[in-house]
Amino acid sequence: MPLALEIISPEKLLLSRDVDMVVIPGTEGDLGILPGHANLITGLRGGLVDIYAGGQITERYFVSGGFAEVTDTHCAVLADSIIRQSDLNPATAATLLDEAKADYAAVNMADQDSYLRASDRLISAQAMLDSAAPARAEKT
């Protein structure tokens, strides 16, 4: 029984097809989703969505955060923004990380909302840089 995976950004439906397994970066840790998974709604942190076919990673997407809804037959990833992992650019990621760090340093810790937003941004920028780097290493 395959798992119907949907990866959706607010602007478009990026991918909708059947996969064997998908690993998503939940806020509490990575989750491997196989068909027959219990119903679950989870937040996502910045990280890689790995699509598996036949025990191999066939595609990797970077998501900067969002939500995922899982039932026994489908998995919907609602991402804030999605980039194919091979398209990630370490230099852009590094600039984003610097900006996020500056933001984080400047944020008022007493203001819960802006603190959360800044820390989310920092985590996602760091994850973007981490996700971008291995692709370079593999290529060389």
Partner 1 sequence: MPSLKTLRTRINSVRSTQKITGAMKMVAAAKLRRAQAQAEASRPYARRMGEMMSALAGGAQGNPNAPSLLVGNGRDKTHLLLALTADRGLAGAFSANVGRHTRTLITSLESQGKTVKIFGLGRKGNDYFRRYAGDRVIGTKNFIGKKTIAFEDAEAIAGEIIALFKKSEFDVCTLVFNRFHSVMSQTVTQTPLIPAASPPANDNPAGDAPAPYEIEPDDGTLLARLLPRNLAVQIYAALLENSAGFYASQMTAMDSATRNAGEMIKKLSLNYNRARQANITKELIEIISGAEAV
Which residues lie near partner 1 (CB under 8 A)? 6, 8-13, 26-28, 38-43, 67, 69, 71, 76, 78, 113
**Least distance (Å) from partner 1 to the CB of residue 89?**
19
The Cα 81–Cα 39 span in angstroms is 24
**Least distance (Å) from partner 1 to the CB of residue 94?**
21
**Least distance (Å) from partner 1 to the CB of residue 140?**
34
Question: In the structure encoding, which two tokens stand for residue 18, read together?
Answer: 């059947």
**Least distance (Å) from partner 1 to the CB of residue 32?**
14
Question: In the structure encoding, which two tokens stand for residue 24, read together?
Answer: 């998503």
Please say which residue, 6 or 135, places its beta carbon nearer to partner 1: 6
Please say which residue, 11 or 138, places its beta carbon nearer to partner 1: 11
Please say which residue, 40 or 102, places its beta carbon nearer to partner 1: 40
Please say which residue, 71 or 135, places its beta carbon nearer to partner 1: 71
Cα torsion for 105, 110, 114, 116, to the nearest 10°?
90
Question: Assign residue 87 a region: left if phi > 0, alpha if psi is -120 to 50, beta otherwise?
Answer: alpha
